[in-house]
Amino acid sequence: MPNCVLAYSGGLDTSVILGWLQDQGYEVHCVYVDVGQPCEDRDAIMQKAHNCGAASARLVDVREELCRDFAFPVLQWQAKYEGIYLLGTSIARPLISKACLEVAREVNAEAYAHGATGKGNDQCRFQLAAEALDPNVKILAPWRMESFRSLFPGRKEMIDYCDAKQIPVKASLAKPYSSDENCLHISYEAGELEDPAVCGVDRVDFGMTVSPQQAPDKVEEVTIGFESGVPTSVNGKVLSALAVVETLNQIAGRNGVGRIDIVENRFVGMKSRGVYEAPGMTLLYAAHLQLEQLTLDRDLVHLRDRISPEVAEMVYYGFWYGAKMDALMAFIREAQRPVTGEVKLGLYKGNILIHSRTSPTSLYDAAIASMEGGAADYDQTDAAGFLRLQGLPGRVQSRVRPREW
């Protein structure tokens, strides 16, 4: 009997896929990769997999690794897809594939199955990551198979299938939108949100943030510490990577920070509308940027900023494991070495205010920058020659090709 691993959540889709794979003759090993998604009872999910005939079921907790080795390097790049999305779902997918393939190696599975649809980005992220880690992996993506889609054209057929097989699921035909959550963020899409004329904030029942209108009527301060570009403390307390994110999720969430509503360009070519909330990561991006302004050389920051959109695209599309990403991550580790210090933020009804930033490696020299007095390292008379040289190409061109003005 052929065997496979299934990225398993215990929800409607993966419950149906577990049964369908067994119908196809597979021995199925279920892997619940814990990235911080909420659920009623993880033990119950494992037991459900066993009850439904899984050959094995296990939970793999990767939350710390997700924050430390995936989210924080992307943060160091200040990478945002299309200038706004903090990539919370995208970052988690290659790690889920890695965890599933580690189990596949243990159980000698010949295939890796997942429940991503054939229209979305996740199928790309799962598969590109898996093939980069194991070039011989066989991917089973039921939603890309006509035989599967003909059996399950909609949720009604999936619910009926579970009823017939006595598979317990909490699902209904009424589904105003779908959501995906991990410790970094929650995404909301599909259903009513597919109409961009609909106000997403009014439709979504946010899980991590209050609305700015409901946030407290006073400013809350929070101090975030970094070492070489890595967040290490909150309000003076040294924390693990996961604890930093979870603590800031609570602080930012109660102050209405971190919501966005966008129409984005999927890797497969279509536009989609998504509503996202990422309270803790929004604070980290803001604090990190402020500390960089103190500690990094202008030309280095500008180079990073030119490459950052490309890094965001690579993460969004699913190209996490590859020579190009490895080299870029080595670059950013070196570039971030001086980014050490603390940033104090003020949070008020969805807004982030900068209250202070300090660093032992600050390049800011008040004596040089001050408009008052002079400094030994900067003589204002030098500016005349500097500008005369900078203007030379323009003067030559103007003589040869006079501009109309």
| Binding residue numbers for L-citrulline | 85, 90, 121, 125, 178, 187, 264, 276
Annotation: binding site for L-aspartate: 117, 121-122
Which token pair is 170? Answer: 């909490």
Annotation: binding site: 7-15, 85, 90, 115, 117, 121-122, 125, 178, 187, 264, 276
For residues 182 and 13, what is the distance between their CA atoms, to the nearest angstrom?
18
What secondary structure does DSSP assign to 99-160, as a single string? HHHHHHHHHT-SEEE----SSSSHHHHHHHHHHHH-TTPEEE-GGG-HHHHHH-SSHHHHHH
Q: Residues with catalytic annotation?
A: 13, 93, 122, 178
Report long-range pairs for 196-205 (Cβ below 8 Å, ≥24 apart): 196/263, 196/273, 200/261, 200/273, 200/275, 201/259, 201/261, 201/275, 203/176, 203/177, 203/275, 204/177, 204/275
For residues 300 and 307, what is the distance between their CA atoms, to the nearest angstrom?
11
For residues 391 and 98, what is the distance between their CA atoms, to the nearest angstrom?
54
Residue 91, SS3 per DSSP: helix
